[in-house]
Structure formats: structure tokens, C-alpha cells
Amino acid sequence: MIMPEKTKPDYVIETKNIKKCYGDGCKVTALNDINIHVERGSFVSIMGPSGSGKTTLLDVLGCLLKPTSGDVYLDGKKVIGLDDNELAVIRKEKIGFVFQQYNLIQSYTAIENVELPLRIKGKSKWEAEDKAKRLLETVGLGDRLNHKPSQLSGGEQQRVAIARALANDPKIILGDEPTGNLDTKTGQKILNLLKELNQKEGYTLVVVTHDPRVAEYSDKIINLLDGEVLNETYPNDSRELEAKRGRK
Amino acid sequence: MWDLALKNIMRNRIRTILTTLGILIGIGAVVALGSIAEGLNATIQSSLELTAGKITVQQAGAGIFGMGSELTNDDVELLKSVSGVKDVVPIVVFLGPMQGFSGPEYVVVGIDPDKMNYFAGENFKLYQGRNIDEGESGVASVGKAAADKFNIQIGDSWTVKNEDFEVVGILDTTGISDIDSSILVPLQDLQAALNRDTYYSIYAIPDDVKDTEKVVVAINDASDNLQALSSAELARQASQIVDQIRFFTFGIGAIAAFVGGLGVMNTMIMAVMERRKEIGVMKAIGATNSMILKQILMESAMISLIGGTGGILIGVGAAIGLGALSGGSIQGYVTPTLALEGLAFALFLGVIGGLYPARQAAKLDPVEALRYE
């Protein structure tokens, strides 16, 4: 039997010396020597000024972008060297995305949007509908199932997007400025929902953000600058987190 | 995922309907024109049954059905002398007034009464009345279809060029349209009426059907003026003509359908461009390249199959309409094969038209597609 390559079991994400550059002879470096890890069940923010490589890093972690060199382990599985199809399968099985622009399909209703990952997974219409309904109820949109995105507020659209991200029971939820398009109050609600998913349901969250409030909610903040990790901080360096680390 | 495909193509209803119409018209043309070729084929095949087991002799260089042949008694005598020929049946044909597409209104065939069985088949039966006796004059037998068409009763008279013929018998339906819709009169009578002593064509009956081809060769060797064709050869020539017509009609239809296919391609290219971001999302949530390819192909196939199905219905309608317009002589004949071919062609166009945009969609880089504005 071939043993799967294992990293430390409580790291759901681990990167080793990731480098991503573009152009002939690697003229433009987007990411340089990134070594980070994300503990299972934690809430991690990636921060940094524009152009610091936050989104590129998120794309790499989300298996949307192949790094130029380095290793990435997701849920204990090495994802470097996989082809497009294999990466798609990883995304399908392990990752849920939440975007700043929500990225819902405008001509589909809320429930159809949430069904989509399940249909891609090969579930029947009936099965997908059932689960999508439950998820929309979970995010507080049980009464908006058949509304189209244009009939929903920004906050509601982002809730649909979160329900969609949850549909495939992901190991990791990746957020690209999930509150970036929302007013303060609505942003707060979305943040509360994400935090709830993290704390109550145990989802691992990695969020790229400019929003200091998001950072406040995080267990760890990875600060990037010019494609490199500047530092990592622990805003809620609480006893709980200490205790978690202590258990290792 | 067919439900999603339907949902996706219905986003831009007008565009989809127009694209579907393009395919519908194209496939409609393929089916309607194809049905005419099939109908023509059926008519010709039925005419050819008439010549089964016989050798058709015409003047050399005459057309396939002996139009314009002027065969003489010398030719008849010559044919009688060719070895392997059992009997010789000269005939004269008079065509009634032409009716547009539907050909002549009626056909009068002059034939020796005792040789009727060669013309109407060994087992021809009377529906009413009696056969024309040998040597009898001024009488006629009428095919069932002609009798029905002109409401002819026994004892009625039929006039050809001022010569009256008394109808003494009505033939039972043979299924061979050239006989069913003919009026048969004694050979010499028709020659007299038409004031000609030549024949339109001559059938040579071989001693043994198995030797038909040998006898054909013998006749062709015996005279430079005569051209003998076996029924197999006639069938071959006829099917060549039908094939040419088929090819021609299919060509016209195919051009129309091909333009419809371009419409599908255009529509799908636009759709893929509009849905770039969405395709990025689908990839982000786990759709593989081949899934995206399939999804787009499904959509173009759906458009073309809906159009194709509509086109077959329109084609059938057009075939029936043409048949009615032509008074039944052009029978549109939509065979199941033709319908299936129409549908397969539609699907082919859809897949070919969808392939390029589908590949473009599948190849989209998810990172770029996601952030495309």
C-alpha cells in the first residue's frame, strides 16, 4: 500500500518555499519563498497592501494557480504536480470559495446557485435541491430560495455565495475580500456568519482582507509585503489558542 | 445537466430562437428536398417494375424512357431474328395534355391485345368487363386509377385524336402506376389515330430471364440503330439519375443547414464570452475542463436538436404541401432514414458549431476568468 504523503496532521494547509513569478526569466515576482501553515479549524487572515500578493497566494492555496516552484499540501495531500483535472477535483472535494463580487450566476435562483457545486459533483437535481435548501436556511435565507441575485441585497447575495461554498462540505473556505463590497453593518453580519461557521461548525477559514474587523476575528494574521511574508500576528492570542498550541 | 443546459440557452431567448430557426430552416430544406428525391425514386422504381424481365429496345441515343424513338417494322423483324428472343412487343404511347409538374393528364398505350400480359404482368386481372380480343378494333381497357380519375364506366367511349374507343374492360389495380393510370388500346388503332407507322419502344422478351444480359448484348450487336437495355440496366441508369438529384438537393439543403450551423457557432461564441466569469466560477467550485466542454456542447447540441426536430416537421409539411401542389405526381417521401439523417445532421452541426466555443471555454484560465469584468 502506498502511504499518502503526510504533513503534520493538524495543518490543513502547509506551504513550502512557494514562489510565483511571471514573464521571461521570472521578471516579475508575485510571491517569493512563502512558508505558511494553517491549523485545522482556525480562522486565518491574509493582509497586506495592494500588490503584496495576497490574492495570488489565495489562488495558489485554492488550486486555481500553479506556483512556479515550491510545495503546497492541502489536507495532507501534496497538490503540486497535479494536472488541471486533478486540481479541479481537489477544489471540488476540499475547497469552498467566497468572492468579493459574490460571483453568483445571475440567471439562476439562489437555490440553483447553491445546487451548482453539487450538480458538478454528480448529485441528482433532487438531492442537490434538498441540500441547497438546508444550507440556505442555515445562512438565514430560507425565505429567499427562488429569488435571483438581482432581487437580493449584497449581504443576501454573499450569504448565497457562502451557502454555495459550503455545499461540497469543504475542508477549507477561502474568502477573497468577502466583506469588501458590503456596508459596515452588513459586512459585520457576514463576518459573524463566517465566525460562526468557524467556531460552531469547525470550518477552516482563510480570508484575504483589508478589513481590520475581519482581522480582529482571526486567530492568525499573515502579513504580506512585496510577495513575501512580513510577519504573522495573533490578534486573539487567547488562552484558548495557547491551549491549542500547548496540546501539540 | 441537460436541465442546466436548457436553462442556459433560455437566458437569451430571442438569440436562441433565432439560432434555432437557422437550424430549423436548414434541416427543413434538407428534409423537404430529400423527400422529393425519395419520392422521385419511388415513382421511378415503380415505373421500372413495368420493365422487369423485359428488354427495352429504343433507338440508339434515345433518352432513358425512349422519348422520341421512331422504331419500324424492320426493327421488329430484326429483333425477332435475334437468338434468345421469345417474343417482341412493340408499343405506341400517346401522352395526354401536360399538367405542370404532374406530367400528362393521362397516358394512352397502344399494344397488341394478345401481348397484354407482357405489359400488365402475367397475372393481371380484370376489375370489370372483358379483355380486348385479338384483332378487335375501336375498343379500350382502362387502368383502375385512370377509370377512377375520369369516372369511366364500361361502355363509355374515350377519344384519341378524333378516334373513339369503347371501353370494354377495367383492369384491377396492379400497383404499377404506369399501368393503373393508362388507357390501353389496340396497337394498330393507336397508330392509325396518331397517323404514324412507327413505334415508341419495343419490348423484347427473352426465352429465359437468366439470359437477359446475353440477349441484350446480342441485340446491341445485331443493329447499330437499336439500343437494348435490360431492366437491371434501366434501374441502374435511373438510380444514377436519382443519386444525382439526391446529391444536388442535399447539397442545396446542406448549404442552408451549414449556415444554420454557423449561427450556432456564433451564438455559442457570444455566450461563452458573456459567461467567462461564470465559467471561472464553475471551475473554482470544481468543474473540470471536460465538464465545461460538455456543458457548452450540450447547449449547442440542444439548440440544434430542437431546430432539427422542428426542421423535420417543417420538411414533412413542405413535402406534403408540394405533393398537394403538384397534384400528386411529386410525392414527398419522408422516410425514417431521411428524418434520422436530418436529425443526425443537425446534431453534427450543433457539435461542430459548439466545438470551438466549448474548447475556448474549457481552456479559460480560472484565475483570469474569475476576475474578468
Write the pLDDT tens digit of every residue in B225-235: 888 888 777 77
Greater pLDDT, A30 or B321? A30
A119–B8 CB contact, under 8 Å = no
B286–A107 CB contact, under 8 Å = no
What are the two backbone dihedrals, phi and then psi, of residue A127, each rounded to the nearest 5 degrees? -65, -45
Average pLDDT on A117-144 reads 94
Average pLDDT on B124-153 reads 84
pLDDT at B124 over 80: no
On whether the pTM is more than 0.80, the answer is: no
The pLDDT value given to residue B28: 92
Chain A residue with minimal CA distance to B362? A84
pLDDT at A244 over 70: no
* Nearest-angstrom CA–CA distance, B177 and B83: 32
State the CATH class of domain A40-63+81-247: alpha beta
Average pLDDT on A33-50 reads 94
Q: Say what the ipTM of the complex is.
A: 0.87
A116–B278 CB contact, under 8 Å = no
* A236-240, B14-18, B186-190, B333-337: the lowest-pLDDT one: A236-240
In this prediction, residue A239 has a pLDDT band, given cuts at 50, 70 and 90, of very low
pLDDT tens digits along A140-176: 999 999 999 999 999 999 999 999 999 999 999 999 9
* A86-95, B200-209, B284-293, B362-371: the lowest-pLDDT one: B200-209
In this prediction, residue B299 has a pLDDT band, given cuts at 50, 70 and 90, of very high
Report chain A's mean pLDDT, rounded to a whole number.
89
Which chain A residues are Cβ-neighbours of B282 within 8 angstroms? 116, 120
In this prediction, residue B297 has a pLDDT band, given cuts at 50, 70 and 90, of very high
Residue with cell 461557521: A197
Q: Where are the alpha helices (DSSP H) in chain B?
A: 2-9, 13-49, 73-81, 116-120, 144-150, 177-180, 187-194, 212-222, 231-274, 276-284, 289-325, 336-363, 366-370
Closest CA to A232 of A76, A69, A47, A61: A47
C-alpha cell recorded at residue B20? 434555432
Of A88, A105, A108, the CB nearest to B283: A88
Chain A residue with minimal CA distance to B9? A107
pLDDT at B122 over 70: no
The pLDDT value given to residue A7: 47
Closest CA to B350 of B37, B36, B3, B5: B5
pLDDT at B327 over 70: no
A84–B286 CB contact, under 8 Å = no
DSSP state at residue A182: S
The pLDDT value given to residue B63: 61
CB contact at 8 A, A110 and A133: no
Domains of chain A, residue spans: 40-63+81-247
Greater pLDDT, B174 or A78? A78
Report chain B's mean pLDDT, rounded to a whole number.
85
Chain B within 8 Å of A82 (Cβ-Cβ)? no
Whole-Å CA distances, B69 to B72, B140, B185, B309: 10, 24, 20, 47
* Nearest-angstrom CA–CA distance, A233 and A221: 5
